[in-house]
Amino acid sequence: MPVARPEPQEPRVIAHVDMDCFYVQVEQRRNPALRGQPTAVVQYNDWKGGGLIAVSYEARKFGVKRSMRGDEAKMVCPSINLVQVPVARDKADLNVYRSAGSELVAILSTKGKCERASIDEVYLDLTDAAKEMLLESPPELLELIFEEATKSNILGLPSDIGNREDSVRAWLCRADADYQDKLLSCGAIIVAQLRVKVLEETEFTCSAGIAHNKMLAKLVSGMHKPAQQTVVPSSAVQDFLVSLPIKKMKQLGGKLGSSLQDDLGVKTVGDLLSFAEEKLQEYYGVNTGTWLWKIARGISGEEVEDRLLPKSHGCGKTFPGPKALRNNASVKSWLDRLCEELSERIQSDLNQNKRIAQTLTLHARASKGNECDSIKKFPSKSCPLRYGTGKIQEDAMKLFESGLHDFLGSQNTKWSITSLSVSASKIFDIPSGTSSILRYIKGPNSTVSPANLDCSLPQDPSLGGINQFSNSSLTVLTCKHASLGNKLYITPNHEEQCEPSSSEKEDRGKNSNLDKQHQVKEEKRMSKKLTDVKGTCSILKFLSQSSPVVNEKRKLDSLTCSHPGPESSSEPNKAEEHKSAQPFDRNKSNPSGSNSASSSTWMFNVEDIDPAVVEELPPEIQREIHGWIRPPKHSSSKTRGSTISSYFQPAKRS
DNA sequence: ACGGATACAACT
DNA sequence: TAGTTGTAT
């Protein structure tokens, strides 16, 4: 399952920053009396004192562990403070921790590429920042090194001689270091500064690892905790890895790691070195084999993604033993609560981040009253996500019923649900030029509520998604999103001007490729055709002249919104008020947007665009329209060798 | 009566 | 694709 990535040959500086017992720190900030005390965060305390999900370092000294029960923790550490996770809608509510997590990201994303790896962890690619520092103020010339940096742990640095901080300082500044190490030194200093900043601005401490790739950075970020950082010079990698227990490696903490141990007798990463890449591939498949071979040598090409927000939202709850849900009504009532929370969360994601989730998925765990049967899994089900709490609840219940149907098959036995969860995924940024559409849909100062557009659940789930097409004159948004309707939004970028802008001319000049040039030229020609003079988009005419099929075209300005928003009831002239209060004005709603002037957006029903019409269009545009309707698939080359299942059954040697 | 609630990636 | 499985915290 893990896959090796091609690695850049240029040395990178990667950091992994990890909060120390994060939830505890959040609670300690809320209640400073807890600072320095043995403390743990528990969720639900009615059964055995609740389950621990974070433990302070003071409490760890007593042997308190994550995954212990509150009662057990009290046994080994009677003085422990147990703080409960907030509860909303009868379930754990992690929002305080989520927002604390975004505080960090906000600070940590200032020095380079930043990837939110979890609620309390980020990866940073500090290569550029480190290079810059090396040019402007190389540590070797610095008379004073940032103090926190001198507290770093440098892997492979002899720790028994003299003052530790002095030797770290010496390492960081040593003039005879190779280029890679110098970059790491700069990285260490930058990370130290960031960590201090985090502490100053959030009161949270964190630990970090600094290395040439993600794997190594992550591996050591937790090595010296709390509130410390560790650097991995490449010279230290081999020694560090040889003795490292295989299961400590990321991705090898589970079955794959066990298989390595039990089937191949690999106890440490060093033991892996004796296996040829081909051998590993025979056992675990091409991808995993190569990956294993590389990580044993400290090689990992995985890039730090530039992503500050989560890729999905989910919420769920377990119903252990006697709490299991045994009828539709109780499932519905829990599902409703879960969906309510999910709806709130995607709604605020939409409002704050202008992102839309496309897919709703339901997961459940179930068992049959008839326990003799093999433990069949409750299938997960998904469908296009429609915004609005009511819709989500409705759809989730349908998904559940469908799942239950599959689960039960023809049997008519009793069932019980031991866990339920709903999640929203396939989240897309709404292109900036489109924000005005949402602006229109929502009333002034109200929350966005595309849910109020009346649409039924589309039957074909493959038609889900939002795509943007943009050339110099048009921005097109296809929205096959159920809640927004299957729509095509077309916004001329600049209506007056059909001549290429100066920057575009420049681009064209640089373009040596004849094909490209032709393409651009063609595009300009079409721009003229598609964009007309008096503020009307002639693609409308164009399409409607070609075929009468396009019947749902309306200029958004004059669109009367029959359901303006959740706050306004269905008084008929509310829509008019709304309209005049909030005219569709791109400049107002999107001042920093790339689009100029007084563009207006036109809306089509995607399904109303007849394929025959599309065929009449010039090939360039045709291709693009096909792209709108169904985005071009990035062909994923299937490279599957022997199968993963080989590690469930020890591979047979030939 | 499973550590619970989330999240992510790769595979089929 | 949708659904499954594994992994991590």
CB A510 within 8 A of CB A576: no
Summarised one tens digit per residue, pLDDT across range A626-645 is 544 443 333 323 322 222 12
Distance A134 CA to B12 C1' (A): 48
Phi, psi of A542 (to 5 degrees): -55, -50
Residue A253's nearest nucleotide, by CA–C1', is C7
What is the three-class DSSP state of A316? strand
Asked if the Cβ of residue A414 lies within 7 A of any atom of strand B, the reply is: no
Distance, in Å, from the CA atom of A531 to the CA atom of A513, rounded to the nearest integer, reads 26
- Nucleotide nearest A377, CA–C1', reads C4
For residue A470, list its beta bridge partners. A475
Using the CB atom, is residue A321 less than 7 Å from strand B? yes
User: A61 vs A32, A48, A58, A608, CA distance in Å?
Assistant: 20, 22, 6, 67
Q: Which residue has the higher pLDDT, A8 or A15?
A: A15
Tell me which of A354 and A150 has the higher pLDDT.
A150
Tell if A419 CB is < 7 Å from nucleic strand B: yes
Lowest pLDDT segment from A126-130, A160-164, A391-395, A612-616: A612-616
Give nearest nucleotide to A640 (CA–C1'): B11
Nucleotides of B under 7 A from a protein CB: 1-12
A318 touches strand B (CB under 7 A): yes
Q: What is the DSSP letter of A279?
A: H
pLDDT tier at A142 (50, 70, 90 boundaries)? Answer: confident
- What is the predicted pLDDT for the residue at A373? 60
The string of DSSP codes covering A19-67 is ESSHHHHHHHHH-GGGTTS-EEEEE--TTTT-EEEEE-HHHHTTT--TT
Residues A17 and A329: their CA atoms lie apart, in Å, by 45
> Is nucleic acid strand B under 7 Å from A193's C-beta?
no
Q: Closest residue to C7 by CA to C1' distance?
A: A251
Q: Write the CB contacts of A619 (distance below 8 Å, at least 6 apart in sequence).
A: none
- pLDDT score at A431: 61
Label residue A372 by pLDDT band (50, 70, 90): low
Contact indicator for A266, A273 with CB cutoff of 8 Å: no
Q: Tens digit of pLDDT for each residue in A581-630?
A: 221 222 222 222 222 223 334 444 444 455 555 554 445 455 545 544 44
Confidence of residue A369 (pLDDT cuts 50, 70, 90): confident
Does A226 sit behind a cis peptide bond, omega within 30 degrees of 0 on the bond before it? yes
CA(A377)–C1'(B2) in Å? 15
Specify the nucleotide whose C1' lies closest to residue A379 (CA).
C3
Instruction: Tell me the average pLDDT across A122-147.
Output: 93
Tell me whether residue A148 is one of the annotated catalytic residues.
no
Distances (CA, A) of A70 to A23, A43, A80, A456, A589: 15, 9, 9, 47, 51
* Per-residue pLDDT at A632: 31
Q: Which nucleotide is nearest to A18 (CA to C1')?
A: C9
Q: Tens of pLDDT along A460-480?
A: 233 334 444 444 444 555 554
pLDDT in tens, A377-436: 999 999 888 888 998 999 999 999 999 999 999 988 999 999 999 999 999 887 654 433
Question: What is the model's pLDDT at position A517?
Answer: 42
Question: If we measure between CA atoms, which residue out of A148, A183, A137, A146 comes closest to residue A12?
Answer: A183
> Using 50, 70 and 90 to split pLDDT, how confident is the model at A159?
confident
Q: CA A501 to CA A137: how far, in whole Å?
A: 41
Instruction: Provide, in whole angstroms, the distance separating residue A365's CA from nucleotide B2's C1'.
Output: 11
Asked if A119 CB < 7 A from strand B, the reply is yes
Would you call A229 helix, strand, or coil by DSSP? strand
Domain annotation for chain A: domains and CATH numbers = 20-90 (3.40.1170.60), 313-429 (3.30.1490.100), 433-504+528-617 (no CATH)
Biggest CA–CA distance in chain A, Å, is: 86
Residue A449 carries which DSSP code?
-
Letter for the amino acid at A251? Q
Å from the A402 CA to the B12 C1': 21
Position A19, amino acid: M
Dist. CA A19–CA A28, nearest whole Å? 13
Return positions of chain C under 7 A from a protein CB: 1-9
Q: pLDDT over 70 for what percent of chain A?
A: 65
Instruction: Say what the pLDDT of residue A631 is.
Output: 35
Q: Are A436 and A589 in contact (CB under 8 A)?
A: yes
Alpha-carbon gap, residue A56 to A64, rounded angstroms? 9
Q: How far is the CA of A72 from the C1' of B3 (A)?
A: 12
Footprint of strand C on the protein (CB under 7 A): A 1, 118, 120-121, 218, 222, 249-257, 359, 361, 377, 379-382, 384, 461-462, 464, 633, 648
Strand B close to A67 by CB, under 7 A: yes
Provide mean pLDDT across the span A501-530. 37
User: Stretch A94-123: mean pLDDT, rounded?
Assistant: 97
Q: How distant is C1' of B6 from CA of A313, in Å? A: 8
* Cα separation, A558 vs A540, whole angstroms: 15
Mean pLDDT of A130-136: 96
For residue A355, give both structure tokens.
């992102």
CA-nearest of A548, A517, A528 to A618 is A528
The helix-helix angle for A95-108 and A22-30 (nearest 10°) equals 100
Find the range with the poorest average confidence among A116-120, A260-264, A556-560.
A556-560
Enumerate the β-bridge partners of residue A419. A318, A365
Quickly list DSSP for A137-172: S-GGG-SS--HHHHT-EETT---SSS-HHHHHHHHH
What's the pLDDT score for residue A374? 60
Answer for A317: CB within 7 Å of strand B: yes
Question: In the predicted model, is pLDDT for residue A247 greater than 50?
Answer: yes
What does the alpha-carbon distance between residue A214 and residue A219 come to, in Å, rounded to a whole number? 8
Question: Hey, is A491 helix, strand or coil?
Answer: strand
Q: How far is the CA of A634 from the C1' of B8 (A)?
A: 21
Q: Which nucleotide is nearest to A305 (CA to C1')?
A: B8
Give the separation between CA A484 and CA A72, rounded to whole angstroms: 51
Instruction: Find the distance separating the first CA and the last CA of chain A, reported in whole Å.
Output: 23
Which nucleotide, over all strands, has the C1' atom closest to the CA of A363?
A: C3
Query: Where residue A542 falls among pLDDT bands split at 50, 70, 90?
Result: very low
Order of all β-strands in the sheet with A415-429:
A313-318, A415-429, A355-368, A381-384
Contacts of A56 (CB under 8 A, 6+ apart): A21, A24, A28, A34, A37, A38, A39, A40
Q: Answer for A380: CB within 7 Å of strand B.
A: no
Q: How many CA atoms lie within 13 A of A33 on its CB side?
A: 5
Q: Is A323 near strand B, with its CB below 7 A from some atom of it?
A: yes
Residue A285 has pLDDT above 50, yes or no: yes
Contact between residue A358 and residue A385 where contact means Cβ atoms under 8 Å apart: yes
Cβ–Cβ < 8 Å for A488, A476 = yes
Residues A193-203, mean pLDDT to the nearest whole number:
97
Given the residues A27, A58, A121, A282, select the one marked as catalytic: A121
Q: Is the CB of A316 under 7 A from strand B?
A: yes
How many CB atoms within 10 Å of residue A349?
18
A523 against A593, higher pLDDT: A523
> In whole angstroms, what is the distance from residue A279 CA to residue A283 CA?
7
CB contact burial A18-34 (16+ within 10 A = b; e otherwise): bbbbbbbbbbbeeeeeb
Instruction: Give the closest residue to C3 (Cα–C1′).
Output: A380
pLDDT recorded at residue A588 = 25
The packing angle between helices A277-284 and A255-264, to 10°, is 120
Q: How far apart are CA A227 and CA A207, in angstroms?
A: 5
C1' (B11) to CA (A478) span, angstroms: 30
Band (pLDDT 50/70/90 cuts) for residue A189 is very high
Q: Which residues contact A444 (CB under 8 A, 6 or more apart)?
A: A578, A581, A582
Give the per-residue pLDDT at A292.
96
A11-68 confidence digits (pLDDT tens): 999 999 999 999 999 999 999 999 999 999 999 999 999 999 999 999 999 999 998 9
Q: Which nucleotide is nearest to A120 (CA to C1')?
A: C9
Asked whether residue A84 carries a pLDDT value surpassing 50, the answer given is yes
Q: Is the CB of A183 under 7 A from strand B?
A: no
Residue with tokens 């291709």: A623
Sheet of strand A81-84: strand arrangement: A51-55, A39-43, A81-84
Average pLDDT estimate for A566-573: 27
Amino acid A53 CA to nucleotide B10 C1' distance, rounded Å: 28
Which of A475, A152, A478, A117 lies closest to A303, judged by CA? A117
- Residue A56's nearest CA partner among A67, A40, A73 is A40
List the one residue out of A342, A358, A344, A483 whose CA is nearest residue A422.
A342
Distance in angstroms, CA of A462 to C1' of C1?
Answer: 7
Q: HSE (CB half, 13 Å, CA atoms) of A459?
A: 1
